[in-house]
Amino acid sequence: MATKRLKAAGPETDTGRPQPCEPCDALPACLERQLRYNLCREESRHQDLFHALAHGVKEQLLDSWRETRKRDAAGQQRQVAYLSLEFLMGRTLGNALLSLGISDDARKALLPYSVTLEDLESEEHDAGLGNGGLGRLAACFLDSCASMDIAATGYGIRYEYGMFAQKIVDGYQIERPDRWLKEGNPWEVRLHGQAVMVPFFGHTQSYVDRDGRRHMQWVGTQDVVAVPHDMPVPGYRNGRINTLRLWKAEATDDFDLEEFNQGDYAEAVARKNLAEQITMVLYPNDASENGKELRLRQQYFLSSASLQDLLRRHCARFGDNFADFHRHNVIQLNDTHPAIAVPELMRLLLDVYCLEWDEAWHITSHTMAYTNHTLLPEALECWSVRMLGHMLPRVLEIIYEINARYLDEAAHHWPGDGEMLARMSIIEEGAEPRVRMAYLAIVASFSVNGVAALHTELLRRGLFKDFHALWPHKFNNKTNGVTPRRWLMNANPRLSALIDRRLGSAWREDLSRLESLNAFTSDSDFIHAWREVKSVNKEALAALVERECHVQFDTAMMFDVQVKRIHEYKRQLLNILHVIHLYQRILSGDTHGMVPRCVLIGGKAAPGYAMAKLIIKLAGNVAHMVNSDPHVTPWLRFAFLPNYNVSAMEVIAPGTDLSEQISTAGKEASGTGNMKFMMNGALTIGTLDGANIEILEAVGPDNFFLFGLNADEVAALKPHYRPDEYIRHSVALEGVIELIRSGHFSLQEPGIFDPIVSAIESPWDQWMTAADFESYLSAQHQAAALYANKDAWTLCSIRNTAASGRFSSDATIARYRDEIWTGA
């Protein structure tokens, strides 16, 4: 082929890092060839042009991708396998161009087609293979691993249908299927040659081998084929291309011959669809478990396929010598979703590779590392023993064996304490015995981490305190982070360019250098330029709101934003109550100390979560009243943004002034939305929860609006919580509740918001909305006062960006690398 390719990872420098890629001059030719021969199009829709460009860009990175694989296959680095049921990747094009450093080349290549790069970028369908924070964390981690030259592979599922698309009809959430693959996925490479078989059902039997050793066998299984579809994960200008390997379930070719011969050909073929159901759809539950059998099948399918892949690679290099497997591999479990990988690795080592138990356990327990993502009891996964025994009989036997041996060890620590052992058992006894997946993960892992300092502390003190007493060395904290490539450089090119002008570009490789921005906080030109950038970004956000919500946001007003999954613990309700309070004040003529603001809420509710869906409806109805009253709109505008996703956040974070991080303390494990906003110069109004605490510490109390009870206070208040007292002592809250109760926001459907009023007034309201209301109000008041002073606000904005370096996922991944992934 005549076109010149991007050079593969160049000669090694003495730091061992590969040289950056050469600039690309082949794109125009690639683009034309793609259009003409691959897509068979001459005149094109934007969608076709996007596909041509994406294929062209992928072609540019194939050589480096192959080189990376070869280098890693022979390298000494311990390889990371990041197992996750979710990867919320968003779009790939902008990120790939940025990493390869060929955005300008792409712009030039597009000149003859009279479209802009931005036009084509918006043609790409988000890869929405995740629910929220947990899935987006996995995506940020992949980006950081590649950019830090770490050999890491993401293993996930290629769902045909990702996170549902949210429509709002009459204020109610409607779910629409997300057929993200319908136009094809230009980035993926299907590798049928590397497919593996995953067994289900059947039964176990023992046999004695020629040497007289007894083994177990899992027979009569129904097998499903797992076919890898690889997506490239380019590092930032370093020549490394890591892999996200997504498994697709397909039927085997072996038909039921009997049925086949009896002429039931069509029936026999149709039955094969059952296998393919496994990877059909992502479960849309965030922070709550879903006990469905199909979900367990997905978990096992991912775990087994990924482990077989790792073992095959290991054997290709070392033969069947597994003694050092854990020195070459580490498996990071993203929550308990893939925790079934623990007994599955044991099964493969015992039954397929014929290792002895102790050897297999040594390897497994030095390979597995577990990340916990939540303290909410409804999110802790337990699988029924009955279901496991039916679907995965051999795996269940191994879980029992792991439990028996571990309880022996625990019994040495607490001799004679049967109650303690029952409490700590992996098997929860009862009418319907269940396997506690978190316990299984802890027992088998050499590292157990929480995702923010407070969260890890609460794990140690609360949920896992018995395990912490037994194995304190296993527990460690790794505060989450977000990738600055996507969330600052790509999402906010104007701010990035402004920072380049003051600091040079070194901050792009080391985000802690943003601290130097503090040196310019008395430079009025810089402050002015900073505010200009924010203002232009607010225009882009206002355009999004206008297009999606038909509400006009005015960039002169404060943009006050809360976007995240809708959940009672995240307290979108508290935010709405504040909006109603402002609305009441404006109607009564009391605008003293107020600043004009535009409030935006966005996020999806789990389809079965009635209260979350009702909160969306309340937001919509309040927005309608607010926006249709000309006395109100000069002071207040309110919109609910439908279908919040990664691409929307790339517009939202740069255009936000005030970031709402208002969860009930002790409930949000970390949060990462909070970090994206901070990086883009938003100020936070927040509780002492998750990583907010660390954000406050980094930026200082003068640049953060703190309110509410802390986690200990919430816990202490719980047994004697009296919301009626708080309501009685707050004229504001009383007024807001009365207005909702009066039917002012539900004239068409009287009484629909009664469950919300009852929830606030209930002494069992875990989220303690009433308790924090007054404190929230006064923090909002402070925010308004500061916003009225434009320069003072802008200074705080600069200080937030300047302090955001420690929330780069590069910093987080450096700690995973140094404290978890090295060693063994």
Ligand X SMILES: *Cc1c(COP(=O)(O)O)cnc(C)c1O
Q: Which residues bind ligand X (CB under 6 A)?
A: 132-133, 136, 564-565, 645-646, 649, 671-673, 676
Measured from the CB atom, the residue of 98 and 129 that comes closer to ligand X is 129
Catalytic residue selected from 158, 373, 434, 474: 373
Give the tokens for residue 108.
């030039």
358 Cβ contact list (under 8 Å, min separation 6):
none
* Residues forming beta bridges with residue 808, ordered by sequence position: 482
Q: Which of 614, 584, 632 is nearest to 744 (CA)?
A: 584
Residue 778 burial (C-beta neighbours within 10 Å; 0-12, 13-18, 19+): exposed
- Known catalytic membership, residue 564: yes
- Known catalytic membership, residue 474: no
Q: Minimum distance from CB of 731 to ligand X (Å)? A: 31
| Rounded CA separation 163/619 (Å) | 22
- Known catalytic membership, residue 597: no
Q: Minimum distance from CB of 813 to ligand X (Å)? A: 17
Measured from the CB atom, the residue of 90 and 199 that comes closer to ligand X is 90
Q: Which of 151, 144, 153, 152 is nearest to 236 (CA)?
A: 144
Q: Minimum distance from CB of 645 to ligand X (Å)? A: 5
| Residues listed for the chain | 824
Cα 302 to Cα 82, 145, 316, 547, 583, distances in angstroms? 11, 21, 21, 39, 50
SS3 (DSSP) at 79? strand
Measured from the CB atom, the residue of 93 and 695 that comes closer to ligand X is 695
Contact yes or no for 247/226 (Cβ under 8 A): yes
- Known catalytic membership, residue 570: yes
Per-residue 3-state assignment (H helix, E strand, C coil) for 177-218: CCCCCCCCCCCCEECHHHCEEEEECCEEEEEECCCCCEEEEE
Residue nearest to ligand X (CB): 673
Q: Minimum distance from CB of 565 to ligand X (Å)? A: 6
- B/e letters for 212-243, b = 16+ CB within 10 Å, e = fewer, are eeeeeebeebebbbbbbbbbbbbbbbbbbbbb
Strands 704-706, 683-686: pairing is parallel
Q: Minimum distance from CB of 423 to ligand X (Å)? A: 31
SS3 (DSSP) at 775? helix
Q: Minimum distance from CB of 476 to ligand X (Å)? A: 21
Dump the DSSP string for 677-689: HHHTTPEEEE-S-
Q: Minimum distance from CB of 674 to ligand X (Å)? A: 6
Measured from the CB atom, the residue of 585 and 676 that comes closer to ligand X is 676
Measured from the CB atom, the residue of 121 and 344 that comes closer to ligand X is 121
Catalytic residue selected from 68, 153, 672, 769: 672
Q: Minimum distance from CB of 604 to ligand X (Å)? A: 9
Measured from the CB atom, the residue of 394 and 565 that comes closer to ligand X is 565
Catalytic residue selected from 125, 297, 460, 564: 564
| Rounded CA separation 107/116 (Å) | 7
| Rounded CA separation 168/166 (Å) | 7
Give the tokens for residue 453.
């300092």
Measured from the CB atom, the residue of 7 and 373 that comes closer to ligand X is 373
Q: Which of 96, 92, 91 is nearest to 24 (CA)?
A: 96
Give the tokens for residue 309.
């892949």
Catalytic residue selected from 136, 486, 570, 667: 570
Measured from the CB atom, the residue of 131 and 238 that comes closer to ligand X is 131
Measured from the CB atom, the residue of 434 and 564 that comes closer to ligand X is 564
Number of H helices, E strands in the chain: 34, 25
- Known catalytic membership, residue 794: no
Q: Minimum distance from CB of 491 to ligand X (Å)? A: 10
Catalytic residue selected from 565, 585, 617, 799: 565
- Known catalytic membership, residue 210: no
Catalytic residue selected from 245, 314, 617, 676: 676
| Rounded CA separation 585/104 (Å) | 51
Catalytic residue numbers? 373, 564-565, 570, 672, 676
